[in-house]
Amino acid sequence: MKHGILFLLLWLMPLTFLVESDGLEPRSDAALLLTQARQRIASDDPVGLRSLGETDKTIDWYRWLRGSDRLSNWKADIFPAPRGWGKSADETWLVFHKFQLVEELCDRVHPIVSKENGPKLGSEIREDVPVPFRIEFHDIQVHLKPEEMLGIFSNTFTVKRVNSEDKALWMRLNAPYKVTRAALEGKPIPVVTFTGEEIPELPDTDFWVGRAGGVVWLQSKKPLPNELRMTLEYEGVIWQKPNDRIGRQYALLCSYWYPHIGRLPAKHRVQITVPKGWVAIGQGELQKEEERGEEYTATWQNDLPVCFFSLVAGPYQITAEARSKKNNRLIRMYQLTPDKARAEQVVEKTTRGMDFFEARFGDYPYSHYYLVETPDFGYSGLEAYSFTFLDPPIMMWACTHELAHTYWGGIVPNTYINSIWNESITQYCDSLLFDGNKDGSRQQGANTARASRTVPVGAANVPRDGVMAMAGYMRGGYVMEMLERELGVDLLMKTLKTFAQERRGQASEWSDYERVVNKVTGRSYRWFFRQWIDIAEFPELSIASVTQRKSSKGGYLVEVALKQSGTSFPFRLRLPLEVSNGDRKQTIVAVMSKATETLKLECDFQVKRVRVITDDGTTLLKKTASFEVK
């Protein structure tokens, strides 16, 4: 009864409608399961949490919880399944949530199912579950209040239907942001926030907005129109070091501070208001800036659809700038504490990188590229396509990596839900192609094949996890160099340029790049992507024998009997075989495609030793071999 009275009172509030559920004594299966889930969270018991699943494998995401992601930092709430999404009209869902760091998997949603042994959690409603709508454009007003660490947001976004399914508009918005008001086509509609152990009384209106953890949806009594315009107003005290923060030193937002559908790309305009004396930088091109009293406002617009929106603001100074030679792009450095010498070095390298990438992958999509130092950012950084922010210690070597992301992640977007394919391609383009392996990416990539624990490159999707990062960045970059060995550098560059052209503004995966490779080359490279992207198996190689005889040309014909094992099927291997005789060495690349095979080589001298090179970007082996010829 108390919830009904609360809702009636809130109906009388002008423009804003908000219902929050107090905790009541559990009276339902859903409330009982919520109590159990909260107990597991409070005791930091991820293994016990697994027992709440319908099967032993229902809740397997807990295996990737690390550091600040530990279970005790999470919360859980229940809410009614949005219209058209549940298997029944009265189905209840449970959401596990916490602050969702950028590019991380979070807000785990599970339906509650009835079983003989009590209520259980069913299979996860994934973040990339197909939704019959797409957000096309966001018009966002952001007011940052550093003294209060507060951000106040008003976001009006346009939505279009993409299929005829009769389902609610299902979105995500980072959990710490409290939705305070909603409107549809400019008309206010109720907001119901689910935070208790019972479902509150629901509005008897045509439309209302639901909010639980990091999910938000538009509920309706009838099918939604093919196009709609929706407004959400929300706010939050944001201090999530090392990521998002609104503070006196500077402000940075990069982690889902806007509603989105499965992180799919969208265009946006953002108006950022900050204290006078600050700089405010958003994505895209600067549209307008003005000062009013003690505040400064900058408006930015990004007409390239991207998956991740970012902004940065603070009392920054311009400490260096230059123009690229090819297309006159403005490269500029912003610092809180000026270090002109270092700023000029970073700008010079970034300018060279701009010319290098534009010559190979096509035109850069903005007039400028800004580098913004963000101290105390956890020895890390993040691409924002028309700018980047980086912790000062890594600014010099990471500046061109983030610039390359404008192509791989920006022009061709990646949601990071399924894989971090763009990190693989970026690592190859920057560290290996542009920077000549100065950071040792090649050797680190090769070493992952001998690691005790790894994942397929195509399944690496949590960049902060060390195992996934090594697979996605280092081995992925190494595999791209292996593809270069197959195609040649010119043809590989053509595949990448075509990829950027054909997948512009479309969320993409390894399979999309594979299709481009096949199209450009006129051949199927399914075997390559199956071996090196889809699985995490690596051959063990042994040399059974080496025989040689003089050839009619004056050199030697060498036969090397090889055997590969340790994989579920024989791999096609491009093997760099180093043959040597004292001071004389020669590397001969041969192809092996069977479990056992004898490779015939021609050598200029009599061979005393044969070994397989494993870290030059040609092949990946778990165990290599060498053979001394007696």
DSSP string, 127-170: TT---SEEEEEEEEEEEEEGGGTEEEEEEEEEEEE-S-----EE
CB-based contact 198:192 (threshold 8 Å): no
In a shared domain, residues 107 and 70: yes
pLDDT band at 5 (very low <50, low <70, confident <90, very high): very low
CA distances from 515 to 179, 509, 510 (A): 42, 10, 9
Q: Are residues 447 and 354 in the same domain?
A: no
pLDDT of residue 366: 98
325/357 Cα distance (integer angstroms): 12
pLDDT band at residue 7 using 50, 70 and 90 as cut-offs: very low
Please check whether residue 429 is in contact with residue 437, taking contact to mean a CB–CB distance below 8 angstroms: no
Residue where one domain finishes, among candidates 387, 406, 425: 406
Helix (H, G, I), strand (E, B) or coil at 333: strand
Question: Taking 50 as the threshold, does the pLDDT of residue 332 lie above it?
Answer: yes
Say which residue the tokens 């295996």 belong to.
63
Range with lowest mean pLDDT among 59-73, 345-359, 512-526 = 59-73
* Token pair listed for 201: 């009384």
pLDDT of residue 68: 65
Give CA–CA dist 408/422, Å, rounded: 5
Calculate ∠ Cα 46-51-57, nearest 5°: 90
Per-residue pLDDT band for 66 (boundaries 50, 70, 90) equals low
Residue 27 lies in a domain: yes
**Per-residue confidence band for 11, with pLDDT thresholds at 50, 70 and 90:** very low
- Asked if residue 371 and residue 289 are part of one domain, the reply reads no
- Quickly tell me which residue has 């340029």 as its tokens: 497
Judge whether 128 lies within some domain.
no
**Over 50: is that where the pLDDT of 37 sits?**
yes
Q: What is the pTM of this model?
A: 0.93
**Do 237 and 296 share a structural domain?**
yes
| pLDDT beyond 80 at 291 | yes
pLDDT more than 70, % of the chain: 95
Burial class for 411, CB neighbours closer than 10 Å (0-12, 13-18, 19+): buried
> Does 231 share its domain with 198?
yes
Q: Kindly state whether residues 139 and 286 are assigned to the same domain.
A: yes
Average pLDDT of 576-603? 94
The domain spanning residue 392 has which CATH number? 1.10.390.10
Our count of domains for the chain comes to 5
With a cut of 70, say whether residue 6 has pLDDT above it: no
Residue 345 lies in a domain: yes
Q: Give the pLDDT band (50/70/90) at residue 64.
A: low
- The residue among 282, 314, 346 that closes a domain is 314
Task: Kindly provide the b/e burial profile for residues 532-549, where b requires at least 16 CB atoms within 10 angstroms of the residue's own CB.
Answer: bbbbbbbbebbbeebebe
Q: pLDDT confidence of 69, banded at 50, 70, 90? A: confident
| 454-463 confidence digits (pLDDT tens) | 999 999 998 8
Our measurement of the distance from residue 163's CA atom to the centroid of its chain's CA atoms, rounded to an integer in Å, reads: 26
Question: Which tokens go with 421?
Answer: 């394919």
Residue 572 has pLDDT above 90, yes or no: yes
Domain that holds residue 336: 317-406
Structure confidence by residue, pLDDT tens digits, 347-378: 999 999 999 999 999 999 999 999 999 999 99
Tokens coding 463: 């960049």
Find the CATH number of the domain harbouring 268.
2.60.40.1730
H helices present in 12-75, as ranges: 29-42, 46-50
Considering the domain architecture, whether residues 239 and 303 belong to the same structural domain is answered as: yes
Q: Which amino acid makes up residue 460?
A: A
pLDDT score at 198: 80
Assigned domain for 56 exists: yes
Q: What residue type is 101 in one-letter code?
A: L
CATH number at residue 570: 2.60.40
Are 529 and 558 in the same domain?
no
Cβ burial, residue 30 (10 Å; 0-12/13-18/19+): buried
Amino acid in position 268: H
Res 9: pLDDT: 31
Edge-first strand listing for the sheet containing 311-314 = 245-246, 251-253, 311-314, 279-281
Look at residue 140 and tell me whether its pLDDT is greater than 90.
Answer: yes
pLDDT in tens, 400-430: 999 999 999 999 999 999 999 999 999 999 9
pLDDT at 67: 65
Distance separating alpha carbons of residues 477 and 422, to the nearest angstrom: 10
Q: Are 312 and 396 in contact (CB under 8 A)?
A: no
- Whether residue 271 is found in the same domain as residue 154: yes
Same domain, yes or no: 504 and 597: no
Both 297 and 228 in one domain: the answer is yes
What is the model's pLDDT at position 25?
43
The pairing of strands 626-628 and 285-292 is: unpaired
> Is residue 126 one of the residues assigned to a domain?
no
The mean predicted confidence, pLDDT, of the chain is 93
Q: In what order do the strands lie in the sheet with 75-80?
A: 75-80, 92-97, 108-115, 118-121
pLDDT for res 211: 98
Residue 310 pLDDT level (bands cut at 50, 70, 90): very high
Three-state SS letters, 464-503: CCHHHHHHHHHHHHHHHHHHHHHHCHHHHHHHHHHHHHHC
**Residues 253 and 321 both lie in one domain:** no
User: Would you say residue 17 has pLDDT above 60?
Assistant: no
Domain membership of residue 10 (yes or no) is yes
Could you list the beta-strand ranges (E) of 82-132.
92-97, 108-115, 118-121
Task: State the average pLDDT over residues 164-190.
Answer: 97
Q: Answer for the pair 250, 316: CB distance below 8 angstroms, yes or no.
A: yes
Do 130 and 234 form a contact (C-beta atoms < 8 A)?
Answer: no
Residue 565 is assigned to a structural domain of this protein? yes
The domain boundary, picked from 516, 536, 556, lies at: 536
| pLDDT score at 52 | 95
**Per-residue pLDDT at 93 exceeds 70:** yes
